[in-house]
Structure formats: C-alpha cells, structure tokens
C-alpha cells in the first residue's frame, strides 16, 4: 500500500497529493509518469510526476477529477493509501541528457497550461538544481485557477502569467504572451510546452513561425499507460508513435495535433474504440510486448 502523506486543494477542482513510494521516487526523472489505482478494483490512472523527494521516498501528483475514478481519488484523505503506484514510466525529458554546461548556455522557455503546470514544475525544479533558470509562461482562463504560483516562482528565471480574462498578468492566452515577449526582444533556443492539446497545437504553430524548436508532452492522451489499449496512438512526422512507450514528449512541430484530438474524441465511446481498432489493425497497440 502507498500512503497519502499530504493532500491539498490547489484550486476549485485541482488536487495535490504527496504519496509514499520510495522505489518510484528513487528512480523518477522529469518528464516521466506513474500509474495509480485507488484499490484492487480501480482503474489504472496515468499521471505525470509533479515532484519527487528521493531522501523521503515520496512522489507528488497533481490531478483534476474528470471521470469516475479520478473523482474517487479526490475523496481519499491523508492517511489513506493507493493500492498501486507503478513507475516511473515513459522517457525522461530530453533536457536531462544534455550536458549541464550546454544547458547553462541555452535560453530555455517553458509554456504551462492548466494541470500541465505540474510536470513543468518538475522539469524546472530539476533544471534549477543544475544551475539553469529557464523562463516560463503559465496560462489559465483566470487567476483563481492558476496553480503552484509560489513554487514556480522559486525555480524560474522569469515567470510570466497569462489569463484569458485579463485578471492576472498578460491579458490573453499563452500565444499572446509569447508573441509579446518576442516583440519585446526575448529570444529562446528551445521551448517545452505542456497543457491542453489545443493550447499546445497553437503554441507549436507560433514557435515554428518564430523559429524556436519545441518539445510537447502528449501525456493527456494516455489511458492504460503501457501501450496495451492503443488510446495514445498518434502521428509524429507521419510515423505512428505511442505517448506512453515512445514519449510522452515529442517534437512539437511534427505532431499531428488535429489527428490526435479527433482520435481522442472517438476513443471516448465504445463504438469509436472498436472502429479505431478495426481501422488501425496491427498499429493500434504500442510496444508493450504483452498484446502481440
């Protein structure tokens, strides 16, 4: 059992939990995810890692109830336990493989939207520990649903806020904010964007126009987390990839976001899942090795 040591509400419908999971924490790297189950009968829920403490043996998750199982998660209290916490899964951020000396010379920008702020924080914290202070644009519809503001400020070079209603920071979405920074003379060598797919789509279109190589995380597509279900199948540069086993991060300029969003909508119905499985044949599943 994996005990919940701390639980708090970050906004009206977003929660943070610190969970005791020593073996997961010992190997967790920025960009990776884990899978939790509330009990033996629960569904598998993939969640990107928000933070880890290797000394205390804990991992931090941030989630928003969007269905029955995540709603059950929200009812758990401090002292309760998850039946399973499996991970770390997926590939670490490509930035962890770049020599620190090179990272310190790079001008890095992160764009975070909604719950995507959680995995962005994990990457920014790791970079900060290496002496790299990247900039970040954090976007939300309004100020009251911005999360982790204090934590983000502690690990960024400059943190810019963008709200659709203008209640905080730059009035507009993250693309408006990026264009404004660019017009003011800001230049970046690389960008990482994590958040809702529609946000990532337009952010990647803008960074391509501005000539900023961009990585996007497709963690929002994952359902099973091991390649067995085929939910996170997507096209990257015309090639079939799976967010859970090949990612979750990919070259944002090469992702077919329209295909991914259309497919995600179809996957929500049983009829749509059956259609996709029949249409995609052998490429429907990923490289889990269990379903061949």
- Assess whether 84 and 101 both reside in one domain: no
Mean pLDDT score, 106-133: 95
- Pairing outcome for strands 239-242 and 233-236: antiparallel
Mean pLDDT of all residues in the chain?
88
In a domain, 292, yes or no: no
Residue 79: CB atoms within 10 Å: 9
- Assess whether 99 and 60 both reside in one domain: no
- Assess whether 160 and 196 both reside in one domain: yes
The whole-number pLDDT of residue 214 equals 98
CATH number of the domain residue 184 falls in: 3.40.50.80
**212-253 tens-digit pLDDT:** 999 999 987 776 655 666 678 889 999 989 888 888 999 999
Rounded to 5°, angle at Cα 100 from 99 and 102: 70
CATH number of the domain residue 76 falls in: 2.40.30.10
**55-67 tens-digit pLDDT:** 999 999 999 988 8
- Assess whether 197 and 262 both reside in one domain: no
- Assess whether 76 and 100 both reside in one domain: no
The whole-number pLDDT of residue 126 equals 97
Q: How many domains does the chain have?
A: 3
Across 91-105, 159-173, 227-241, least confident range? 227-241
Answer with the one of 54, 89, 124 that is the final residue of a domain.
89
Range(s) of the domain holding residue 267: 218-286
- Assess whether 75 and 186 both reside in one domain: no
- Assess whether 122 and 161 both reside in one domain: yes
- Assess whether 23 and 70 both reside in one domain: yes
In a domain, 138, yes or no: yes
Q: Alpha-carbon distance 35 to 222, whole Å?
A: 10
pTM above 0.75, yes or no: yes
């Amino acid at each position: 059992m994996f005990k919940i040591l701390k639980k708090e509400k970050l906004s009206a419908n977003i929660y943070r939990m610190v969970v005791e999971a020593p073996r997961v924490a010992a190997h967790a790297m920025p960009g990776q995810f884990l899978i939790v189950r509330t009990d033996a009968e629960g569904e598998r829920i993939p969640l990107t890692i928000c933070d880890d403490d290797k000394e205390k043996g804990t991992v931090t998750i941030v989630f928003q109830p969007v269905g029955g199982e995540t709603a059950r998660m929200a009812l758990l209290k401090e002292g309760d336990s998850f039946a399973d916490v499996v991970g770390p899964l997926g590939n670490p951020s490509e930035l962890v493989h770049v020599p620190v000396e090179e990272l310190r010379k790079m001008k890095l920008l992160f764009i975070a939207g909604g719950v995507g702020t959680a995995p962005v924080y994990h990457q920014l914290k790791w970079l900060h520990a290496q002496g790299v202070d990247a900039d970040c644009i954090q976007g939300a519809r309004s100020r009251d649903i911005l999360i982790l503001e204090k934590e983000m400020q502690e690990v960024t070079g400059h943190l810019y806020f963008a709200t659709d209603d203008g209640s905080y920071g730059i009035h507009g979405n993250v693309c408006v904010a990026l264009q404004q920074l660019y017009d003011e003379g800001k230049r970046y060598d690389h960008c990482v964007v994590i958040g809702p797919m529609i946000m990532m789509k337009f952010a990647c279109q803008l960074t391509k126009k501005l000539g900023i190589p961009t990585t996007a995380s497709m963690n929002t597509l994952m359902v099973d987390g091991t390649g067995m279900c085929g939910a996170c199948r997507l096209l990257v540069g015309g090639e079939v990839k799976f967010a859970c086993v090949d990612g979750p991060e990919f070259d944002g300029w090469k992702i077919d976001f329209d295909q991914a969003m259309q497919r995600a909508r179809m996957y929500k119905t049983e009829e749509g899942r059956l259609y996709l499985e029949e249409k995609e044949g052998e490429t429907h599943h990923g490289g889990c090795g269990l379903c061949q």
